[in-house]
C-alpha cells in the first residue's frame, strides 16, 4: 500500500495544490502506484482513487489516456524507442528491428525472464540524438547495435546486483523543497 | 554573438545559482520588483516578445488580459514539449533553469500571481534534476517563497509531471491535465486569463518565451525590440533534426539566418548527412506544411516562410534528403497525430484514423487513385472543424505532400494497380 509506505510524501504532494483540489495529484500518484505495483493494475488504480477520494473510473480513464501508464504487465525495464519521423530518418525503424532480434521479442513483448519490455513511442524530444530510447524514463541517446548490446548487459548486471538507480518514485518525490 | 537563452553554452555551470547570480542572474527580477506590475507588463509589451511555443502570440498582451486586483492567479509554464522534432525547452531547463524560474517570477509579479506550476511532459522526469535543484536553491536564497528579496512579493513554484500526451501542449488541455482531468482542450471562452487553473485567472507561457523575459528586463525593451525584424523580435532557438550532418539546437537572431545557412553553414549543421541532396523540410515539426528547396532562402522568423506557404511555428526543422519517400513521411506524421488526437472532436478523432488507414494502404501497395482523392477529401473536411489546433495541424502532412509530391502518390497506386491480384 503506497498510502502507508509514502504517507508523508503523499501529504507533501497534496500541499502543492489548492486544498480542495486533491485530484490534481492523480498523475504523480499513478506514477508512484505504477512503480510499486509494476503496472497500472486494478489494485493500483483503486488505491490511487482511495487516496484522492474520487471514483476509480476516473483513475481508469486517466490510465487509459496517458501513454506512460501501462495497463498490462510489463518487464522490470521498459525500453521505449522513438520511431517518429525525425528519429526514423536517422534509422530508428531499423534499430527497433535489431532490438527485437536481440531480445527475441516483438514490439509490445516482454522477454521470458520478465526483464525487458520493448515498445515504440511518439516523439521523446531527443530527435538530434537518434536512434534513442528511454528505459524507465531514463534517456539513452545516439545508439547503435554495439551500444544497445552494452545497455542490455548493463541493465542485466544492475538487476543482478540489486538496482540502485533512482526510480520514478524517487523522481516524483524529490520535489520536497519546502 | 553570445547566447541570450542558451547561456550554458557560454558560461559553464550556469545552472548553479551562484554562477547564474555572478553572471547577472536575478537582476531582471530585481529591476521588475523596483517597478510597478503595470510598468513590467508594458515593458514586455514594448519589447514585443512573442510566444515561442509555436503560435507567436505576444506575451505582454497575454499578461495584460489578466484581471487587475487581488485574488488567486496562476502562472503555468508549458514544458509539455512534444511536437515531433522539438527539443529546445528540455535543453533550456537542463542547462539554464534559473533563467526560466526568473522569467516566471517576473511574469507572476507583473500579473499578481503567487503560484507558478511548471508542467513537464512526464518523459522529461530525468531531465528535471537540475531544475529541481535550482528551485530548492532559489527558495534557500530567498528568490522564491515569502517576501522575495524583501519586496513583500510572495511566490511559490512547483514542478508538475504529465504522463505522455502531446495534446497537453495546448494550453486548456494542459490546465485540464494539471487539474487531474483527461488532457482535453476546452472550448474558449473562457480563456485562461478569465478562468484557467482551478477556474482562476491564469497565464500559460512556453519555457522559451519566459526565458526571454529576464534579459529583456535587464537590457530594456528597446534592446530586445532592436533584435530581429519588425514582426519578429529577439532570438529564436531552432531545433535541427533529420538528414543533416550536425543536428541540434541553434540560437539565431530572428530574420537574420536562412534555412539554407542553417543546413549548410559551418556554425550550424555543416551540410546534409553523407553529402546527399536536399529534398524538403518540415519547418515546424508535423504541424507546418512541407517546403521545397526554394524555401531555403526563407529566414527564421514568424513571417519568414509566408511566401512559401508554411510557417516557423516552434522552429522544429526536420530535414529530408533526396532518398526520402514522401508518402512514407506523411504516414509517419499522420500516425503521430492519430495517436495523439485526444478524441474529443469527431473530425480529428475519425479523420486522423482514416487518413492513416488510407496512407497505410497506399504504402503497402494496395492503394488506388480513389484513395488519393479520399485523402484529399478527408483532410479538407477536417479543416476548421475542431476545437484546437491539433485537428488543424493533423492534415498538414497529407495536404502538404499532396500539393508538392502528388506524383509520388500516383506512382505508388499505379504500381499497385499494375500487379494482378491473386
Q: Write down the CATH number for the domain with range A77-160.
A: 3.40.30.10
* Final residue before a domain boundary, out of B194, B225, B256: B225
Domain boundaries, chain A: 2-71, 77-160
Judge: domain A2-71, CATH 1.10.10.1590.
yes
Do residues B312 and B352 both lie within one domain? no
CATH number where B366 lies? 1.20.1440.230
Do residues B309 and B384 both lie within one domain? no
Do residues B122 and B171 both lie within one domain? yes
Minimal Cα–Cα distance from B42 to chain A, Å?
30
> Are residues B122 and A126, on separate chains, in Cβ contact within 8 Å?
no
Do residues B218 and B80 both lie within one domain? yes
Do residues B275 and B388 both lie within one domain? no
Give the sign of the dihedral formed by CA B110, CA B116, CA B119, CA B124.
positive
**Pairing status of strand B202-206 against strand B278-286:** unpaired
Give the pLDDT band (50/70/90) at residue A1: confident
Q: What is the pLDDT of residue B397?
A: 96
The C-alpha cell at B338 is 492519430
Do residues B166 and B142 both lie within one domain? yes
Least Cα distance to B71 among B210, B195, B178, B204 occurs for: B195
B334 close to B397: Cβ distance less than 8 angstroms: yes
Q: Is the pLDDT of residue A90 over 70?
A: yes
Do residues B190 and B313 both lie within one domain? no
pLDDT digits (tens, 9 = 90+) for B275-306: 999 999 999 999 999 999 999 999 999 999 99
Q: What is the pLDDT of residue B405?
A: 98
Q: What are the CB-based long-range contacts (under 8 Å, 24+) for A66-69?
A: A66/A27, A66/B122, A66/B162, A66/B163, A66/B164, A66/B165, A66/B183, A67/A121, A67/A122, A67/B163, A67/B164, A67/B165, A68/A31, A68/A137, A68/B122, A68/B123, A68/B163, A68/B164, A69/A30, A69/A34, A69/A40, A69/B163, A69/B164
Minimal Cα–Cα distance from B136 to chain A, Å?
5
Do residues B218 and B304 both lie within one domain? no
Element (H, E) at B397: helix B396-418
Give the separation between CA A163 and CA B211, rounded to whole angstroms: 37
Residue B1 resides in a domain = no
Identify any residues that bridge with B378 across adjacent strands, giving them in sequence order: none
What's the whole-number mean pLDDT along residues A131-150?
97
Q: Can you tell me the ipTM of this complex?
A: 0.95
A30 → chain B, closest CA residue: B163
Element (H, E) at B110: helix B97-111
Q: What is the pLDDT of residue A166?
A: 74
| Among candidates B243, B248, B249 on the partner chain, residue whose Cβ is nearest the Cβ of A89 | B243
Do residues B270 and B381 both lie within one domain? no
CB < 8 Å to A123, chain B:
82-86, 166, 285, 336
Give the separation between CA B137 and CA A52, rounded to whole angstroms: 30
Q: What is the pLDDT of residue A177?
A: 46
CATH number where B180 lies? 3.40.50.11540
CATH number where B299 lies? 3.10.20.600
Quote the percentage of chain A above a pLDDT of 70.
97
* Final residue before a domain boundary, out of B321, B346, B367: B321
| Alpha-carbon distances, residue B288 vs B191, B244, B282 (angstroms) | 25, 19, 7
Three-class SS state of B278: strand
Place of cell 485523402: B375
The C-alpha cell at A163 is 538496482
The C-alpha cell at B417 is 494497380
Residue B230 resides in a domain = no
CB < 8 Å to A28, chain B:
160-161
Q: Is the pLDDT of residue A178 over 50?
A: no
Give the sign of the dihedral formed by CA B386, CA B61, CA B95, CA B282.
positive
> Are residues B135 and A177, on separate chains, in Cβ contact within 8 Å?
yes
* Final residue before a domain boundary, out of B225, B255, B282: B225
Q: What is the pLDDT of residue A167?
A: 78
Minimal Cα–Cα distance from A167 to chain B, Å?
10
| Alpha-carbon distances, residue A20 vs A52, A70, B54 (angstroms) | 10, 28, 34
Least Cα distance to B333 among B397, B401, B240 occurs for: B397
Q: What is the pLDDT of residue B418?
A: 67
pLDDT digits (tens, 9 = 90+) for A38-67: 999 999 999 999 999 999 999 999 999 999
Identify any residues that bridge with A117 across adjacent strands, giving them in sequence order: A78, A110
Give the separation between CA A110 and CA B46, rounded to whole angstroms: 56
pLDDT digits (tens, 9 = 90+) for B44-82: 999 999 999 999 999 999 999 999 989 999 999 999 999
Q: What is the pLDDT of residue B121?
A: 96
Give the separation between CA B49 and CA B24, rounded to whole angstroms: 20
Give the separation between CA B75 and CA B70, rounded to whole angstroms: 15
Please state, rounded to an integer, the average pLDDT across all residues of chain B: 96
Do residues B363 and B248 both lie within one domain? no
Quote the percentage of chain B above a pLDDT of 70.
99
Give the pLDDT band (50/70/90) at residue B123: very high
Residue B48 resides in a domain = yes
Least Cα distance to B376 among B395, B349, B361, B394 occurs for: B395
Least Cα distance to B186 among B348, B383, B387 occurs for: B387
Q: What is the pLDDT of residue B422?
A: 57
pLDDT digits (tens, 9 = 90+) for B308-346: 999 999 999 999 999 999 999 999 999 999 999 999 999
Number of structural domains found in chain B: 3
CB < 8 Å to B182, chain A:
61-62, 65
The C-alpha cell at B39 is 510598468
Neighbours of B129 (CB within 10 A): 15
Instruction: Confirm or reject contact between A96 and chain B (CB < 8 A).
Output: no
What's the whole-number mean pLDDT along residues A87-102?
98
Which B-chain residues 123-152 have CB contacts (< 8 A) with chain A?
123-129, 132, 135-136, 139
A45 close to A56: Cβ distance less than 8 angstroms: yes
What's the whole-number mean pLDDT along residues B170-199?
97
Residue B102 resides in a domain = yes
Q: B128: domain range?
A: 7-225
The C-alpha cell at B33 is 520588483
Do residues B311 and B330 both lie within one domain? no
Identify any residues that bridge with B204 across adjacent strands, giving them in sequence order: B76
Do residues B317 and B331 both lie within one domain? no
Q: Given this chain, do its domains A2-71 and A77-160 carry the same CATH topology?
A: no
CB < 8 Å to B128, chain A:
171
Amino acid at each position: 500500500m503506497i498510502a502507508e509506505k509514502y504517507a508523508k510524501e503523499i501529504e507533501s504532494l497534496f500541499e502543492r495544490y489548492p486544498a480542495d483540489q486533491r485530484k490534481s495529484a492523480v498523475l504523480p500518484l499513478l506514477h508512484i502506484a505504477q512503480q510499486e505495483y509494476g503496472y497500472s493494475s486494478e489494485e493500483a488504480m483503486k488505491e490511487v482513487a482511495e487516496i484522492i477520494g474520487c471514483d476509480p473510473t476516473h483513475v481508469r480513464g486517466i490510465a487509459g489516456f496517458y501513454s506512460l501508464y501501462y495497463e498490462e504487465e510489463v518487464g522490470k525495464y521498459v525500453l521505449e524507442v522513438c520511431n517518429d519521423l525525425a528519429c526514423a530518418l536517422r534509422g530508428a525503424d531499423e534499430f527497433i528491428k535489431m532490438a527485437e532480434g536481440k531480445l527475441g521479442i516483438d514490439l509490445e513483448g516482454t522477454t521470458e525472464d520478465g526483464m525487458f519490455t520493448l515498445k515504440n513511442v511518439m516523439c521523446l524530444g531527443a530527435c538530434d540524438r537518434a536512434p534513442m530510447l528511454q528505459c524507465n524514463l531514463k534517456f539513452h541517446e545516439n545508439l547503435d547495435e554495439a551500444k544497445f548490446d552494452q545497455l542490455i548487459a548493463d541493465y542485466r548486471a544492475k538487476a543482478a546486483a540489486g538496482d540502485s538507480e533512482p526510480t520514478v518514485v524517487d523522481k516524483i518525490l524529490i520535489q520536497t523543497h519546502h | 554573438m553570445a547566447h541570450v537563452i542558451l547561456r550554458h553554452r557560454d558560461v559553464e555551470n550556469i545552472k548553479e545559482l551562484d554562477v547564474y547570480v555572478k553572471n547577472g542572474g536575478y537582476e531582471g527580477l530585481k529591476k521588475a520588483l523596483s517597478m510597478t506590475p503595470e510598468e513590467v507588463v508594458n515593458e514586455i509589451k514594448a519589447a514585443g516578445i512573442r510566444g515561442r511555443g509555436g503560435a507567436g502570440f505576444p506575451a505582454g498582451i497575454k499578461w495584460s488580459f489578466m484581471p487587475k486586483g487581488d485574488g488567486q492567479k496562476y502562472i503555468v509554464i508549458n514544458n509539455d514539449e512534444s511536437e515531433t522534432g522539438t527539443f529546445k525547452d528540455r535543453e533550456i531547463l537542463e542547462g539554464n533553469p534559473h533563467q526560466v524560474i526568473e522569467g516566471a517570477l517576473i511574469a507572476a509579479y507583473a500579473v499578481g500571481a503567487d503560484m507558478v506550476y511548471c508542467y513537464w511532459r512526464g518523459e522529461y522526469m530525468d531531465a528535471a534534476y537540475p531544475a529541481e535543484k535550482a528551485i530548492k536553491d532559489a527558495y534557500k536564497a530567498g528568490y522564491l517563497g515569502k517576501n522575495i528579496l524583501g519586496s513583500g512579493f510572495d511566490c511559490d513554484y512547483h514542478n508538475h509531471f504529465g504522463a505522455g500526451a502531446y495534446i497537453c501542449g495546448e494550453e486548456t488541455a494542459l490546465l485540464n491535465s494539471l487539474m487531474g482531468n483527461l488532457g482535453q482542450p476546452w472550448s474558449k471562452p473562457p480563456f485562461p486569463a478569465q478562468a484557467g487553473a482551478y477556474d482562476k485567472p491564469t497565464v500559460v507561457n512556453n519555457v522559451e518565451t519566459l526565458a526571454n523575459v529576464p534579459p529583456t528586463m535587464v537590457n530594456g525593451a528597446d534592446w530586445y525590440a532592436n533584435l530581429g525584424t519588425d514582426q519578429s523580435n529577439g532570438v529564436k532557438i531552432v531545433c535541427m533534426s533529420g538528414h543533416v550532418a550536425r543536428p541540434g539546437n541553434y540560437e539565431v537572431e530572428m530574420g537574420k539566418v536562412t534555412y539554407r545557412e542553417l543546413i549548410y553553414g559551418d556554425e550550424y549543421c555543416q551540410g546534409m548527412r553523407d553529402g546527399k541532396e536536399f529534398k524538403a523540410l518540415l519547418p515546424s515539426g508535423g504541424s507546418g506544411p512541407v517546403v521545397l528547396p526554394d524555401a531555403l532562402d526563407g529566414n527564421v522568423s514568424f513571417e519568414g516562410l509566408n511566401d512559401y506557404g508554411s510557417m516557423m511555428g516552434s522552429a522544429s526543422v526536420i530535414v529530408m534528403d533526396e532518398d526520402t519517400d514522401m508518402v512514407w513521411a506523411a504516414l509517419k506524421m499522420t500516425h503521430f497525430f492519430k495517436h495523439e488526437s485526444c478524441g474529443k472532436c469527431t473530425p480529428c478523432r475519425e479523420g486522423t484514423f482514416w487518413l492513416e488507414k488510407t496512407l497505410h494502404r497506399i504504402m503497402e501497395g494496395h492503394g488506388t487513385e480513389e484513395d488519393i482523392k479520399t485523402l484529399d477529401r478527408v483532410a479538407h473536411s477536417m479543416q476548421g472543424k475542431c476545437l484546437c489546433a491539433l485537428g488543424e495541424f493533423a492534415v498538414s502532412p497529407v495536404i502538404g505532400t499532396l500539393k508538392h509530391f502528388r506524383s509520388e502518390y500516383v506512382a505508388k497506386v499505379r504500381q499497385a494497380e499494375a500487379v494482378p491480384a491473386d
